[in-house]
Structure 1
Amino acid sequence: MRGTPGVPPLDEQTLARLGAAIVSSIMQLSRAPRVLVGRDTRESGPWIVQQLLRGLTNGGAEVTDGGLMSTPAVAFLTKEGGFDAGVVVSASHNPFQDNGIKIFTRDGRKADREFEVRLTELTAGDTRTLPVSEVATLEPRGLLEQYLAHTCQILEGVCLPADFRLAIDCANGANSGIAPVAFRRLGLDLHVIHDSPDGRNINLHCGSTHPEALAQVVVGERCDLGAAFDGDGDRVVFVDHDGAVVDGDAVLLIAARWLAASGRLAHDAVVATVMSNMGLERALWADGISLYRCPVGDRFVAAEMEKRGLALGGEQSGHVIVADHLPTGDGLATALLIVRALVESGRSLRDLAVDLRPSPQVLLNVRVSRRTPLGDLPAVRALVDAAEQRLADEGRVLVRYSGTEPLLRIMLEGPDSVVIQQMADGIAAQVRADLGEPGG
């Protein structure tokens, strides 16, 4: 659930009713449900949390308000702390004006679609006006320390060179008070930027969607590695020692090889989404590692991993899931894993990913006024079909609506960058004509 605070579904009564619906969905007769709530640094976060707490406590839950917490911290602590559900108030990489809600089940997994549908039905069917009153919550004593201790174990037994330099960009988000603590505890020579949230600067020209500033720091301070987190801390994008951005495909390749070398890559296979480049598939195949694809979204990655019993999965955008750590993405854990891979190999990030030779890829985002099924847009469908026929086995065409924004995403991959750019531009122009957004 995402939107504008104060506007349905993020208005006062809907949020309170959602809190009550969460309790109804996890109610156990033997005791009051225990719920952990955390949030990122957006200025609307405390207000949204208060509305949720009204519904949660009115429904009979015992609530721990964790305050500022990354999404993976809430997921881990929900599982390890014996909570029946975890709730995160965040809109991830979106600007501060947006906010949203993520829900985790007692095993630390994102709630599935069925659970969300049930919550929607319960919320819609609740016509009560829940009272505005003081809400009592439990103190989150030692919770973040549990998460930090567990996550830092990724570097357990590793002798870190005294001269290893790391730069991190905390996106003025939830990791601002977490990631620097972890890396300093490990004794790294650390350079930190964008760790001073003011409620409005989360993701503002910084973090995983804007790694340019981090790249300058990495080069200027002669760092070995840079890591840029997103607002809620569940994804990370890396910068190598020369300031070049390295995406999630390269990270998956490095992580897969590291896990395989230690005998921990279950079934010698990895899960990635339809957005991952064909170059990743070729590089993994050369190492005898299979790649299974799923729809875009870390929820789908996690579900496919669970279905196949796999240890590793992720997205090109920077979500990486390592199953024996947590069944959801964790930017801090991924960064620690990459640091370990660099230190143990004695190689640079660029060297570790040198075998990844991406096919030319074009990605266009077209703003749309409505989500007309693509099958009902014959001119667009004809262009997509023509592109698929021309590329055949040498490329891919993916056209889909964004799950969180009014955008149609157009991705083409193939051997000739000029050809796929022309085809992508043609599809985009037709989408603008059909869906009435000529300026998109």
Structure 2
Amino acid sequence: MKSFLKNIIMLAIACSLSKQHATAQAPTYSLQQLKEVALKNNHILAVKQWQIAEREAKIKEDETKRYPTATLNGNYQYNFNLANITIPAGSIGILPLSSTTQVPLPNVDKNIEIGNKNLYNIGVTAYQPISQQIKIKTGLEVNRMDVAITEKEKQKIALQISQGVEQLYYGTLIAQKQLEEAQAKLAVAQAKLGDVETAIAAGKTIDVNQAGLMANIADEEQNILKLSIQTQNYKSDLVKLTGIAEEDFNLQELPLVLEDITGIESFKTSVSSNPDIQIASLTKEKADLGIKAAKQSTLPDFGVVTGYAYQSGNPILPSHNPFVGLNLKWNIQDLFSNKHLLQQREAQAKQAEEYILNLQQQVNSDIEKAYRKVNQSKALIAVAQKVLEYRSKELKVQEDKQLAGLNLKTDMLNTKAQVAKANADVYAAQLAYTLAVSELKNLIGQ
């Protein structure tokens, strides 16, 4: 059973190592390239961009409400029956032709049809709102505020994506360094087991430590397997986040430049640049505009009406009729309902104010936490570099001893494993510092 389990672990390690060898020919991405690809391929960012386009089109649509509204209408009607006017005989008078002959006017009853069976009517009417101009202007300001809010939401998502890529990128690099450390420890454990087996075969020792050494090998194999799986998971998450086509790829290791950070007060004074606070501030301004619009809704709708009408078939009405006039419409119920609407908008504005205050407290707390993490990571870097310096000196001593034949192979391998661990610790501390700085900058929208 133990042999079977060992074979499985070794097979997994072999697959991992062969996969790492295969990825040597795979494409290599830098952190900046991964960020650019992630921002380009992200669907949520694309949705936000289309939302911006939609809201900008809404602004243009609402801008047309400021100009006259023209209505063209036409009508055709066929009348089967027309109105008749009957003039009775003699109703106009009597025409005396002679003393004996008198002719009534008209001499018989006359029936006259009024109008025409074919009736045409066409006209155009234009209405220019006047009193609603200020309300339309407020509505346009609300629409522009929606565009600004959506743009800030897009910026926030972009920052979150970039930070997510950084975390996965640095996490992968740290896991790879830890994998190198684990492989070095495995080599040490295997060398120690080899020394013991050689000693047993030569009859110089008994089988007392062999099981413990095999357990150490199994532990390191397990650790290698865990780190290999962790690295694969990080890369899989990077593929999902960035949308790159390759499943196997390498990460370009750039020289780490530790950026100096100014005092915490400079970050706290820039808290207004935080995307969440900016979105909340824009929401507050939008709520204020809603209050303004609610007050303007009580105004009557007053405007100018002008147009032209042409008709044919009705002799009573003129054929051509240009006209101009005024229009007034006032919904009295709005005077009462808008009072409650105004209360709702004022409550929304108060909610926005409280939300901004809460966000400011939260962001300030997060800045303090991130700044503390920066200082802690900086201290860890100094300690890790000191350990690495001492381990490197120890390795130089072991190399000199090996040249003189004064130490064992396991001594050298063990020191190399310690140096690998020190390297991994320095690298992890440096990347932790970089991530903490990135988190601190993201909190102020950089």
Which TM-score applies when normalising by structure 1?
A: 0.17
Q: Answer 1 or 2: higher relative contact order, Cα 8 Å, separation at least 6.
A: 2
Which TM-score applies when normalising by structure 2?
A: 0.17
